[in-house]
Amino acid sequence: MTAAAPHRSAAASWRADSARARAYASRLPALLARSRRLAETVLRGAHPRRRAGAGDGFWQYRPYEPGEPARLIDWRRSARSDDGLLVRQRERETMQTVRLWLDRSASMDWRSDPKLWRKRDEAAAILLAVGLLLLRGGERVGALGGTALIGPHGFERMAREVYEAQAEVPYTGGDPDISDAPADQQNADQPNAALAAPGGVLVLASDFMVDPDGLAGRLERLRVARSAVRLLHVLDPAEEELPYAGRVVFADTETGAELAVPNVDALRARYQGVLAGVCGVLASAGARDGWGLHPHRSDRPATHTVLALWRALARR
């Protein structure tokens, strides 16, 4: 009996994983359609292909941003304009590689209201819309550990790798058993820092629901892995506001364990303190050179986040 128990547990886990995979596959068509709509909406007011850089061809003028070197200002054009100080942008001629990573942990497959998208789907729609925009702009885009693709014809393959079954590349690059990897890199909620190639950009989409100290360590490993990183922090509104009162039973989405809280009001300040700590770690990481933070709530328009993230990547 005791020897058979682990086998039953593994079988149950396999069935649960298979059921989740089927559920994700059934949701992908709607995500593809939504991502395309988001990308088209963003493109209505932006150039789909060119991007700023150190090339020779003139692209456009854009407003000067505080903190930029004054030498970037086109003083002659600014003097003739009513739009303030302007910077002359040139089209970048080199191609960059952007890797996308989606947190696939159970906490991401949650929503507080049936009218909202699950965090996983909300994050995926934003990632895929940005990926499509980048592909149309001539960039190389793919899932972390997957295939770097060129051109919009590769969009659906990229989407499947990001959302359904990201490539599981061994941590050591050898035996597919990754038991020698750091513990938190064997899970779906942590990108493998060893796969972050130098010179590229890594976009991470997650709720980052871990303790602040642990989160800081994870992000530090990515910094050491020599990759530029953009952080897409997706939260459900209930996770920010904790809009509950009285006695509430919370269920851990990762383990299924339940916690009965007699009075949520007494817990709120402590909870908000932990959440503020997580947001502080992310803000600090996002302020690093080559990094950036893009917070997003699942009850707010995704187009704004797609545009901000795409612009940030296009300016590299």
> Residue 173: what are its φ and ψ, rounded to 5°?
80, 10
Q: For each of the chain's 316 residues, which pLDDT tens digit applies?
A: 233 333 344 454 445 555 556 666 788 899 999 999 999 999 886 654 445 444 445 556 778 766 667 888 889 888 888 878 888 766 554 568 899 999 988 899 999 999 999 999 999 999 999 999 999 888 889 998 888 888 888 899 999 999 875 444 332 233 333 333 344 433 466 787 777 667 789 999 999 988 888 899 888 888 877 678 999 999 999 999 999 999 989 888 777 888 898 999 998 999 999 999 999 999 999 999 889 999 999 999 999 999 999 999 986 6
Of 124, 121, 127, the closest CA to residue 109 belongs to 121
Largest CA distance in the chain: 85
Q: Which two tokens stand for residue 165?
A: 């079954």
CA–CA distance, 93 with 68 (Å, rounded to integer)? 22
Contact 144, 100 (CB under 8 A): yes
- Three-state DSSP class for residue 94: coil
For the stretch 164-168, contacts whose Cβ atoms lie closer than 8 Å and that sit 24 or more positions apart, written own/partner, are 164/21, 164/24, 164/25, 164/28, 165/21, 166/101, 166/102, 166/104, 167/143
Among 203, 172, 254, 23, which residue's Cα sits nearest to residue 97?
203
Phi, psi dihedral angles at 57 (to 5 degrees): -80, 135
Predicted model pTM: 0.74
